[in-house]
Amino acid sequence: MFSYNRFKNQVVARIIGRFPALAKRLVDSHSPWESEDIPWTPVTRPLSLSQVSLVTTAGVHLKSQTPFNMQDPYGDPTYREISAETSLSDLMITHDYYDHTDADKDLNIVFPLDRLHEFKKVKPPRSIFLKWPFGHPLGEPFQVAQQRAVLTKAFEALQHIKTPGEIVDIPFRWKKETY
């Protein structure tokens, strides 16, 4: 069934994704929700002995699961559990608020399941967020070397974070690096 609001959200997401200056103006015009209490748990044991959980707001879910509700004016607050053994071909994205064209081609840029499986073999530390265009937190589709480089730098940075809220700037530039 056609929904004007959903269509509008998809068009706005594509426009904002293609014009970063417009996205910045939109983001700057809104005040983020802030909390005095940061839910923080410091790393207390070697990361090679730890479990990693992926949490994403990219709308990723199993094709067999109920899609996220894009009709809810407040956003869908539910979550979907995805097993570590899941193949990326069994996943899809239901999300109207960012242009996920590239993520649809390679889910590793928003849900790096394949990259984490590779790292599991070499037992690296953990990862952190990298500020790149909407829907591309780990880079460009099918750029395996780029995705590995981002996760490696993120793992290294996380080892050094000792206080809640500290942000480590990973110096990669969008589409201007050789990996």
- Residue 139 is predicted with a pLDDT of 80
pLDDT per residue rounded down to tens, the chain (179 residues): 677 777 887 888 788 778 878 878 877 887 766 666 666 677 777 766 777 778 888 999 999 999 999 888 778 889 999 988 899 999 999 998 888 989 999 999 999 999 888 866 654 334 455 667 767 777 888 888 888 888 888 778 777 777 666 667 777 777 777 77
To 5 degrees, how large is the angle CA 13–CA 16–CA 19? 150
- Residue 131 is predicted with a pLDDT of 63
- Residue 32 is predicted with a pLDDT of 67
CB 146 within 8 A of CB 139: yes
Which residues, in sequence order, are bridge partners of residue 60? 93
- Residue 91 is predicted with a pLDDT of 96
Q: Which amino acid is at 8?
A: K
